[in-house]
Structures are given as C-alpha cells and as structure tokens.
Structure 1
Amino acid sequence: MVPCICSSSTSSISKFISEQPYLSLLETKCSTIKHLQIIHAQIIKTGLIKDTIAASRLLAFAATSSAADINYALTLFNHIQNPNIFTWNTIIRGFSRSSNPRMAISLFIEMLCNSVVDPDNLTYPSVFKAYAELGLCKNGAQLHGRVLKLGLLFDDYICNSIVHMYANCGCFGEAFEVFGDGEGMDVVAWNSMVISLAKFGRVDDARKVFDEMPERSLVSWNSMISGYVRAGKWVEALSLFRVMQAEKMKPCAFTLVSLLNALAQLGALKQGEWVHDYIKRNKVELNVILTTALINMYCKCGSVERAWEVFESSPVKGLSCWNSMIMGLAMHGRENEAIELFSRLDSPDDVSFIGVLTACNHSRSVGKAKHYFSLMKERYKIKPSIKHYGCMIDVLCRAGLLKEAETLIKSMPMKPDAVIWGSVLSSCRRYGDVKMGQWAYNNLLDLGVDESCGHVLLSNVYAAGGQFEMAIQERMLMKEKRIEKNPGCSLIEVDGEVHEFVAGGRLHPQVQEIHCLLENLTLMLHDINFHNP
C-alpha cells in the first residue's frame, strides 16, 4: 500500500521516491517544464499519477520551482482526486507568488467551502501574502480575525505575514498593533516594517525601526539604504553605508547599485571610483543592473570616458546599459556620438528614444528630433510619453519655434506637466514672447506647483519683452503674497566627503573660512581687472 504524504514520515516518503525511477528523475534531473511534461506523461502511463505523493511532487515542481508554470500547476491540481493539505498549500502558495495572486484567494475560499481538508498554519501565510500583493487590507483584516479566533497568532510565520500584509498596504496603525515593540518578532517582521515605511515615503520612521532592530540582516541594510536613495536622501544613504562598513557587513550587488545611484546624484566621483574598485577587488559579478549603475554614476559625475570604458568592457550589454551610455553622451555635449550609438541599436525602447531626443535637443537639431520622434511612432509603434513630448517641445522652444511648440502641446493626449510649461516660459523669456509666456504661466499655476517659480519666470519674460513695469509688478506681487524664492542648493565632493551648500545659508561648519576665501578671490579679480582694463 502506498503511504499517504500527509501522514508518512520524511524517511518513508524518501524511500518511496527512491523506489520510483520517474520520481527520482523529478528530484534529480528535472529542470524545465518540458522535462516535467515528459516525466508527467510517463507517470500517467504507469498509473502512478493516482498516487498522492507522485501527484504532489509533480505539482510542487510546477507551482513553486524556479521553472514554475502556474497554469500547468493548476491543471495538475484539478486532476488530483481528493487533494490533501499539502497539495492545497502548494497550489495556493504558487499562486500567491505568481502574477495572479487573486487566484490564491479564490482557491482558499474554495478550500473552505468545498474541501474536507481544513487550512493549517502553512496555508494562511500564503493567503496573507496574496492580500498584501493586491493591497486588500480590509479583506486581510477579516482573515486576521479568523486567525485570532483559531488561536494561531502565536505562529511566527503567520504573525510575520500579517505584519507584512498590513505594512505593505500602508496600514501602519494595524501593522504596529501586531508588531508591538518588536519583542519576539524575527528579523523578517522587522524588515517588513522598514521596507514598507520606506516604500510609503516614511523614511525617517523606517530609520527609527532600523535603529531599534535587535539584529540586522543584509536585507535590513539594503532596504534602509535603498529607502534613502528613493527618498532623495543621498547623503544619508552614503552615511549609512559607512556605518554598514564599520559593522563589517559585506555589501552585495543590490547594496552597491543603491550606493552608486546615491553617488551619481551627489556627483561624488572619488567615492564612486572606490565602489568600482571594490567591485573589482571582490570579483563581484557585473550583471546588467550593476553595469548600468556604474555607467550612470560615471556619466552623472562628469567622467564620461570612464563610463565608456565600463560600457565597452562589459561582456553582456543589456538595453539599459546602452540607454545610460546614450543619455550620458548626450548630457555631456557629445550629441553626435550619442546619435551614432543609438543607430547601432536593433530594438530601441522608449528610454532609448528619450536619450536620442535629448541629444538632438542639446545640439538643437530640430530636423533630427522630428525624424526620431516620427520613427518612434511609425516604425517602432512606441506611444510617446510625456517625457518624449517634453524633449520634443524643448527642442522647438530652444530653436525659437514657439508657435510650432504650442501646436504640439495642444495635440498632446495627456496634460502637459510643470517641466514642459517651465521650458516654454524660459524660451518666452529668451525670445520676448509675452503673450505665450502668460499662457504658459497660467497653465503652470493650474498644476498647483511651486508658485515662486512661476512668478520669477513670468517676471523675466516681461523684462525680456521690455515690459519692465509688469516685471516689477510680478516681483511686488510675490512680496504681497509673502512668496519667497526657494534657495538654490549645490553639492560638492572634497577629499571623499560630500558638502552641501544652500544659497544664503550659514550652517556649514567652515562658513567663515569659505566667505573669507570668496572675499579674497573677489579682491584678486578686481585687481586683475584694474591692471588689465
């Protein structure tokens, strides 16, 4: 008699599998769905498919392996007579990890209504995961109530999945209620709180939870660093990485990508070079994502030659590598090289076209920009996004073709954003088109963006058009409304340390020395001008 998988010991199941050649192949040789189908056919022929263990093993591979095919798994499941708890849990878990988590919930409801098998402590985490993926916090709360009634909240795995479900849905009140002070929670639950808080922009709260963690995994560090990067807190990301190094925690490729993105925004070339050297010293595999991050970092730090070296030496160049290099060349005034590199692409995507349009913009090549914009739509069937329209409108505005830009704006299928209206306003100032400047200004205000930006730009448009009274009136209006222009901010790396400066700010610890140096430089310039009139 064949042993039942739900009651047999692990040793007896292993013995049974070893005695069945096709099941042994499933355990040792099967690596693709095609292999599985061959083994499945043989198991049907031998009649072994009626055995619970054999069917369960086929199902487990189809539903949860690295080569999973969830639809094939569902077909297998539907042909199992009287599925046991293992098979129910397997198919529910498979769908909770798939692109169709809603099916996991449907199967769970079917299990409750029609099955003679009751859910166990391994069933609920998969269902909570499905609710988390779908953002169905209220539905998940009902399941939470069922778990409470059944007295299963003591199970760490279930408790972690509930915390994750609430946190991933942004229901932090409920998440913290289950999480409490974290006592008794494992690192998975702590990480769920950090990841979700950072995801919803509450990066400072995420840091508080991070600092209170009794133990941290690599995921903890990666989540906090990437959270800072997504929030635009690049200095904090860099500072936390230094703490990570001090605690002898070895970074992985994911950490390095987040760090490179932060350094790119800071323009911290020296530290970016250190990360690149670290990758070489530790023989970290240069996958497409890490290569793209390196190219992007070097380009944004002004070292386009080093970016080109990374691009050329990369054994595998993903499309993202090409796109970063095209954009880097375009931003550094090497428009012809950017366009030539773009021409070598067989299958450009929407990002590729943003890169080549940016190159056309910087070289003020209106004809080429029109060609690529048309090529994107007609040959590659890529629907222009607001960024493509923004590039095209900026090209026209820079060339003084304001009426043509106006026509394109009015033909857009989406509402223009602040970047587009800002571009129009800047060009109206350059070419003295007051009427169009007023039109752009009114549309900019309708978007509810920073009002100071609109007033300053419109004032400049009036001044460029010779309407100085209107320009002064705009400035006076800002004073009446008590609108202050946001101060400019810049970052510079000196000896591996990033310094931040705000216009008019006096918070830098060496502000006195900096002002003294600036005064000396000003005197030197006056002296040079005096002797060289």
Structure 2
Amino acid sequence: MPPCSCFCNPPSTSITKFISDQPILSMLETKCKTMKDLKTIHAHLIKTGLAKDIIVASRVLAFCATSRGCDGDINYAYLVFANIEKPNLFTWNTIIRGFSQSSAPEKAISLFIDMLVNSSISPKRLTYPSVFKAYTQLGLARDGAQLHGRIVKLDLEFDPFIRNSVIHMYANCGLLGDARKLFDEDKDLDVVAWNSIIMGLARCGEVDESSRLFGKMPMRNEVSWNSMMSGYVRNGKWMEALDLFGKMQEEKIMPSEFTLVSLLNACAKLGALEQGEWIHDYITKHKVDLNVIIIAALVDMYCKCGDIQMARQVFEAVPRKGISCWNSMMLGLALNGFEDEAIELFSRLESSHLKPDSVSFIGVLTACNHSGQVDKARKYFSSMKETYKIQPSVEQYGCMVDVLGRAGRMEEAAELIRSMPMSPDAIIWGSLLAACRNHRNIGIAKWAAENLIELDENETSGYVLMSNVYAASGVFEKAMQQRIEMKNKQIEKQPGCSLIEVNGEVHEFSAGGMLHSQFQECTSH
C-alpha cells in the first residue's frame, strides 16, 4: 500500500497554518485518541461551523476511517463523508480505503462506482489499490479482472502499488495463472509482490513451487519467512516448518504470533514435545501476548504430545479462557485416557460464562465413547440439539455412531446413520465397519462396505475391513475374496507410519519400511 504521508493527508500547503490558527483542530491532531474524543471535538466543530470546511472534514474522516484512529468507526466515517458537499480526491480515497479494510468491503466497490458515475472527481493511482483490496476481501478476483483491464487502458499497469494489489488479488483468490503472468512479466518486483505469490501458491497447495521461489527471493522480510512457515504447516509439511524455524533463528527473524501457532500445530502433529517446549519457552522469554489462540495451541500441543500435566498447568493458569482453549483441553483429556475428567470439564464449561459449541460436544462425546458411557452420550447428543440449539454435523453423528458401535448396538448405529440429514462420510462408514468386525455383524458390514466403496472405489479400508469382518466371523473364503478383489483392481493398502522424537529430532518410520537412514543400525542391535 502507498505510504500514509501520500494517502492520509489532504494535499494543501496551508494546512499547518490553518490548524495552528484553530485550537480545536490542534486538539484533533494532538489530543484525540479514541472515537469518544473524536465525537466530542466533532460536535464542537459542527457548532462552530468549522465542520463544513473541507480540510476539517478530511481530518475527521481520516481519523475514523483509517488505522490512525485506534478504535475507528467506519459507519461514523461514512456519515461524515455523506455530509461533505463537494468531496475531493482525498476524501473519496479515504472512505474507499476505510471500507476496503472493514467488514463491509463491498461498500468500497459501491463507492468507487459512485465516484466513477456520479462524481466530477476521477480516480487516480492511489484510489485503485484499495478497490483491488476490496475485491480480494470478497474473493471476487474475476470481477476485479475488469478493473485490471481499466488499469491497462490507463497505462497504470506498471505502477508498483497497483501491480502489487492486482498480484495479491489473483494469488489470494486462487487465480495463480493470472498472478504468475503478472509476476513473470516484471523483472523489478519488490518484496511485497514476492510475498503475495509465495502465499498464493502455498494456499493453493503448490508448496514446493512456493518453497522454490522463496529460495530465489532477492531479499526477504519477516512476512516472507512467516508466510513460508504457514505454507508448510497448511500443507502438512511439519518437518520442513520446524527446519525453517531453525533457519529463522539463525537469521534472527522474529516469528509472528500466527507463525508461533503454526509451529505449535506442527509440533502437535509430529508429537515433537521437546520442540514444543522450546517454542513455549520462546513465547515466555519474548513476552509474547498469551491470547486465546496461542493458549489453545499450547494446550493442544501438550495434549497431543502426551504431556497432560503440562497441558493442565497452561489451561488452569489462564484467568480468561476462550472456547477453543476449553475444547483443546477437553479433547486432549478424552484422547489420553482421562475421560471422566473431560466430562467434568464439560460441566465446568456449562457453568462458566461461555456456552459449549459444536466442537465442545465432539470432545465430550469422544470422552463418552472411550469410556463406554452410552447413556451419557445420548444425553449430550440430545442436549446439543434441544438445549443449545446446535444442529449436529457429520462429526457429531460420527461420534455417536462410534459410541453405539463400540457398545455393540449395531442396529441402533445403523438407524442413526439412516436418520442423518446429510450424507455420511467415509469416517462414519469406516467406524461402523470396524464395529461390525469386533461384533461379527456381517449383514450391516456388507451395507457399510458397499457405501464406503461407493464413495471411493479405490479406498482400501472398505475391502480390508470387510475382509476382517469375514475373517473374525470364520468365513475365511469370503475374506480371501475381498483380498483377491483388491489385487485384481490393483488397489494397495497404504502402509501405516509412526513418528518418534529422539534428542529433539523427529524420525518417521513406515510399516515394513527399510529406507530410514538408521535402519541397518537398528537391525544390527
């Protein structure tokens, strides 16, 4: 975006003298910190008639429409703008920019069209980046492409601020071909354009290409490193994320709060407790604000790495907990063998100032599942719908099917699936099949396997689980037929894998695999 000195101040050489001659305007410049202050001063300006002056109105508008006002009010800004008799270019740019950064970016586009059609003021180069930002916020890159065409006709396509905005719009909305075309055309791109293309590629799953471009960047800033880090995590490249964090430390690059959360998620996925503890120490040492997102990520990391005691300490130390923090702790307890404690925590949540959400019910239903408490699960499932007015999603239905299946209530589980308002997913059918294997119910197993294979005929679990159902029931000939059918269709079961952390380094092993560098060393012992 253009520097604030170009965008946020009305273009007048007499502004300083004008302000110095009006004490109330000096207060606007020096004493006004909040919208409450602004409204008090604005009321006085209206009474004295100064509010009609374009310079005064511009100053008021800039405060409440842009980031200068720490608690600005875009709706109040619009009222100010609507009362300006003859808005100049600065005031148009200010209100458009304000809405492009708000929760109503569509209003920025509407104002821009109004400027084009009904105003005597023509948009200039500093107007367009805000409009492209609005299209980006709305995910309407194809509509924004029409404005891009106007930019080309006006011969503004190589303006760096505009070009960066267009590249960011295309990349952020997934139109990577258009973004790359613009990116490749210009050999004199700044770090903002590089960051946009790297973020866009990673967001669309092309993390390897994103990494390749990251390695070619002529210069990087903190956004570059943090974007690449989040790209790795978003695409499940946990090891690469941790490796990059190590390089960030060597370069003395400060990770953002969002990056720290991404790193904690990577540690959770890998079970890398030592790395997670190091990041926790880093957060404490650098006095990073422990907001609800970071707290939830810490609790989740400790739970998934098996350190429930530390997860409890982090959870209980926070006076105000967000719902995500409660959910992480509850699910962590349920999955680590502390089912009764998870159910008790759910009761504490119900008694707090917060209300359980859909994820909270996944946590408590999981606890009921692992402890075999079918009646309690039914009660919570009913409470979710009737007391909290939360319509169960496929995840909550999946939890209930698993609860009933593990308890051997196969007919009830099948009936619940038939009553679902949405189509069951592969997890639900797989859960039912696994329960059929344990309770040797061939009839329901065949129904579940047919539906699972119908979802994806190349999905191995339907064949494998059905084979296991037959084998557990002593019908070995049909069990073999399932395996033969897999072979005939050239469907191979993916080997399982596990991760283990040794001396701070995470190692991955696959079932039957012999490719790990220390395989020979392990077998020789």
Q: How would you bin the TM-score normalised by the shorter chain?
A: over 0.9
Q: Which residue of 2 aligns with 1:301?
A: 305
Q: 2:43 aligns with which of 38, 41, 44?
A: 41
Q: Which residue of 1 aligns with 2:521?
A: 513
Give 1:320 shift.
1.5
SS in 1 for 2:499: strand
Give 1:48 shift.
1.3
Q: Which residue of 2 aligns with 1:370?
A: 378
Structure 1: how far apart are the matches of 2:399 and 2:226? 34
- Decide whether the 8 Å contact of 1:298 with 1:304 is kept in 2: yes
SS in 1 for 2:474: coil
Structure 2: how far apart are the matches of 1:352 and 1:276? 25
Q: Which residue of 1 aligns with 2:441?
A: 433
Structure 2: how far apart are the matches of 1:371 and 1:512? 53
Q: Which residue of 2 aligns with 1:499?
A: 507
Given the superposition, is the C-alpha separation of residues 129 and 469 from structure 1 closer, same or farther in structure 2, using an over 3 Å criterion? same
The amino acid of 1:249's aligned partner reads I
Q: Which residue of 2 aligns with 1:25?
A: 27
- Decide whether the 8 Å contact of 1:182 with 1:190 is kept in 2: no
Structure 2: how far apart are the matches of 1:67 and 1:220? 29
Structure 1: how far apart are the matches of 2:435 and 2:423? 20
Given the superposition, is the C-alpha separation of residues 31 and 380 from structure 1 closer, same or farther in structure 2, using an over 3 Å criterion? farther
1:124-163 counterparts in 2 under 5 A? 124-163=128-167
Q: Which residue of 2 aligns with 1:244?
A: 248
- TM, length-normalised to structure 1: 0.92
Deviations along 1:357-412, whole A, 9 cap, x unmatched? 11111111111111111112111112212111111111111111111111211111
Give 1:515 shift.
2.3
Structure 2: how far apart are the matches of 1:377 and 1:449? 34
Given the superposition, is the C-alpha separation of residues 22 and 404 from structure 1 closer, same or farther in structure 2, using an over 3 Å criterion? farther
Aligned CA RMSD, in angstroms, stands at 1.7
Q: Which residue of 1 aligns with 2:65?
A: 63
Q: 2:228 aligns with which of 213, 217, 224?
A: 224
Deviations along 1:123-178, whole A, 9 cap, x unmatched? 00011111222222232222222212222223211111011111112222221221
1:80-99 counterparts in 2 under 5 A? 80-99=84-103
Given the superposition, is the C-alpha separation of residues 71 and 386 from structure 1 closer, same or farther in structure 2, using an over 3 Å criterion? same
Give 1:414 shift.
1.1
Q: Which residue of 2 aligns with 1:523?
A: none
The amino acid of 1:219's aligned partner reads V
Gaps spanning 5+ residues in structure 1: where? Answer: 518-533
Gaps spanning 5+ residues in structure 2: where? Answer: 1-8
Q: 1:387 aligns with which of 395, 401, 406?
A: 395
- Decide whether the 8 Å contact of 2:470 with 2:476 is kept in 1: yes
- Decide whether the 8 Å contact of 1:6 with 1:84 is kept in 2: no
Q: 1:352 aligns with which of 331, 335, 360?
A: 360
The alignment-based identity, stated in percent, is 63
Structure 2: how far apart are the matches of 1:489 and 1:19? 75
SS in 2 for 1:491: strand
- Decide whether the 8 Å contact of 1:287 with 1:316 is kept in 2: no
Structure 2: how far apart are the matches of 1:272 and 1:351? 24
Given the superposition, is the C-alpha separation of residues 434 and 116 from structure 1 closer, same or farther in structure 2, using an over 3 Å criterion? same
Q: Which residue of 2 aligns with 1:333?
A: 337
Deviations along 1:424-477, whole A, 9 cap, x unmatched? 000011111111111111111222275211100111112222322111100111
Give 1:503 shift.
1.7
Q: How many pairs align?
A: 511
Given the superposition, is the C-alpha separation of residues 427 and 494 from structure 1 closer, same or farther in structure 2, using an over 3 Å criterion? same
Given the superposition, is the C-alpha separation of residues 30 and 406 from structure 1 closer, same or farther in structure 2, using an over 3 Å criterion? farther
Give 1:496 shift.
0.8
- Decide whether the 8 Å contact of 1:55 with 1:76 is kept in 2: yes
- Decide whether the 8 Å contact of 2:311 with 2:329 is kept in 1: yes
SS in 1 for 2:507: strand
Structure 2: how far apart are the matches of 1:383 and 1:182? 51
Structure 2: how far apart are the matches of 1:62 and 1:278? 37
- Decide whether the 8 Å contact of 2:276 with 2:301 is kept in 1: yes
Q: Which residue of 2 aligns with 1:259?
A: 263
- Decide whether the 8 Å contact of 1:74 with 1:91 is kept in 2: yes
Given the superposition, is the C-alpha separation of residues 31 and 396 from structure 1 closer, same or farther in structure 2, using an over 3 Å criterion? farther
SS in 2 for 1:416: coil
Give 1:84 shift.
0.5
Structure 2: how far apart are the matches of 1:143 and 1:61? 28
SS in 1 for 2:205: coil
Q: Which residue of 2 aligns with 1:409?
A: 417
SS in 1 for 2:144: helix
1:96-245 counterparts in 2 under 5 A? 96-180=100-184, 183-245=187-249
Deviations along 1:277-304, whole A, 9 cap, x unmatched? 2222233232221111111111000111
Q: Which stretch shows the higher mean deviation, 196-205 or 151-160? A: 151-160
SS in 2 for 1:499: strand
The amino acid of 1:472's aligned partner reads M
Structure 2: how far apart are the matches of 1:183 and 1:281? 41
The amino acid of 1:26's aligned partner reads L
SS in 1 for 2:517: coil
Structure 2: how far apart are the matches of 1:90 and 1:367? 59
Give 1:93 shift.
0.8
Q: 2:428 aligns with which of 417, 420, 430?
A: 420
Q: Which residue of 1 aligns with 2:478?
A: 470
Given the superposition, is the C-alpha separation of residues 27 and 410 from structure 1 closer, same or farther in structure 2, using an over 3 Å criterion? farther
SS in 2 for 1:302: coil
Q: Which stretch shows the higher mean deviation, 230-239 or 315-324? A: 315-324
Q: Which residue of 1 aligns with 2:4?
A: none
The amino acid of 1:17's aligned partner reads I
Given the superposition, is the C-alpha separation of residues 24 and 410 from structure 1 closer, same or farther in structure 2, using an over 3 Å criterion? farther
SS in 2 for 1:151: coil
Deviations along 1:191-244, whole A, 9 cap, x unmatched? 111111111111111111111111111111111111111111111111111121
Q: Which stretch shows the higher mean deviation, 178-187 or 293-302? A: 178-187
Structure 2: how far apart are the matches of 1:237 and 1:26? 46
Give 1:7 shift.
4.3
Q: Which residue of 1 aligns with 2:3?
A: none
- TM, length-normalised to structure 2: 0.93
SS in 2 for 1:291: helix
Q: Which residue of 2 aligns with 1:8?
A: 12
**Given the alignment of the two structures, is residue 398 of structure 1 paired with residue 410 of structure 2, yes or no?**
no
Given the superposition, is the C-alpha separation of residues 266 and 182 from structure 1 closer, same or farther in structure 2, using an over 3 Å criterion? farther
- Decide whether the 8 Å contact of 1:459 with 1:470 is kept in 2: yes
